[in-house]
Structure 1
Amino acid sequence: MSSKPRMSPVAPPYDEETGRLLAKWMPPGSDMEPLLLFRLLALHRGLTGRLHPMASGLLNHGVLPPRDREIVISRITARAGAEYEWGVHAVVSGPAAGLERELLDAFVTQPADAAVFDAHTRLLVTAVDELHDQATVRAATWRELQVIYDDAQLVELLVLTGWYRTLSTVITSVALPLESWAARFPVTSLPS
């Protein structure tokens, strides 16, 4: 990632409309400064307002188990080289969903068939890798996924992967700086 961002996120003090928009992206009662990603998206207020329901729906109202959701997010952001997003999830959402740091690091450093992944995790990692590399899931992988997930969950898995791939594209394209408190990629990583 470039050391100099290509765009500057909105900065405080925020005008009233921007403040309301950013508050929607933060957990209720949070006194934390809005994430740089949210502040970057706020450069396009109309789009940001339309994106929020999608983001909230996937994170707060999804039908995938939280652990599975975070596996998908961690792998796609790692594969896409979005250290910013991977690092935020590695500190906040991943551990909350029961993912240990060793596993989170493995999403960055290990191939899908690595011994560190149990069979369930390996299947999700394989599906994400196929979506990243070919924009589709191979028939054999799809059949395995159908054994575990219903149709609604499968649609969500595809959209979740695509959503975080989209965010990764924004993050890497603008060289968004990392949050000071977020995790960093392990030194060794897979090619994106």
Structure 2
Amino acid sequence: MPLKSKQPRIAPLEPPFDAGVEDVVRELGPPIGLFRVWARRPALARGVAGWGRYYFSRESALTVRQRELVIDRTTALCGAGYEWGVHIANFAEKAGLDAAQVRSLAGGGPADGCWNAADRAVLAAVDELHATADLADATWAGLVDAAGEDGALDVLLVCGWYHAVSFTVRALRLPFEPGTMGPDSP
């Protein structure tokens, strides 16, 4: 899990923000710590915001549930408790995840009895991508059956993106957002 630190390595910007930073923070979404760190570099933040708008829009080939399975499992596997906590707090209910499924995402696996076949295929792909940076033909076929070819492509990209986000939040030592906890919390 995340290394313990009293202070983040790069402090998130604090309000009041100048007009340019205010606009960037608003583009990113709720003013969580990670977004306020990215806002220190407005061009970077705008690029991230564009990516996020796509994957959190109806344009993505993934359902909300599939997207959250990918994000939650990836961040748990990467030990990125900050990001895992943000997503569980904000999206688990919207994705229809129950308590057993949240526990499984944190420390179980695709074979756990709480998953249907389609969920298992998505989670197996995430686990294999995390372990090998590739997918066996059978894993690919299962993912395409569960999410379609366009959805499979989105799984690859979302999983990769949330590896980058996980690296960022861990290395920055960001403290948990209020009302969130990591996958290893009681």
With structure 1 as the length reference, what TM-score do the two structures score?
0.88
Contact 2:28–2:35 (CA under 8 A) maintained in structure 1 = yes
Q: Residue 22 of structure 2 corresponds to which residue in structure 1?
A: 19
Q: For 1:123 and 1:44, locate their aligned partners in 2 and report how far apart those are by CA, in whole Å.
A: 37
**2:75 aligned residue (69, 77, 80):** 77
Once the two structures are superposed, residues 72-110 of structure 1 have per-residue CA deviations (whole angstroms, 9 ceiling, x without a partner) of 111001001111111111111121121123211211111
- 1:44: how far off? 1.6
Structure 2's unaligned 5+ residue stretches are none
RMSD: 1.6
SS at match of 1:3: coil
Identify the residue that residue 116 of structure 2 maps to in structure 1. Answer: 118
Within-5 A mapping of 1:156-175 = 156-175=154-173
What's the TM-score once normalised by structure 2's chain length? 0.91
Q: 11-20 vs 103-112, which deviates more?
A: 103-112
What is the percentage of aligned positions where both structures have the same residue?
30
Q: Please show how residues 118-157 of structure 1 align to structure 2 within 5 Å.
A: 118-157=116-155
Aligned residue pairs, count: 182
For the pair 1:41 / 2:29, whether they are aligned, the reply is: no
- SS where residue 81 of structure 1 aligns? coil
Give the Å deviation of 1:17: 0.4
Consecutive unaligned residues of structure 1, counting only runs of 5 or more, are 27-32
Residue type at the aligned position of 2:42: R
Indicate if the aligned counterparts of 1:105 and 1:186 stay in contact, CA closer than 8 A: no
SS at match of 1:115: coil
Q: Hey, what's the Cα distance between the residues in 2 that align with 1:75 and 1:50?
A: 24
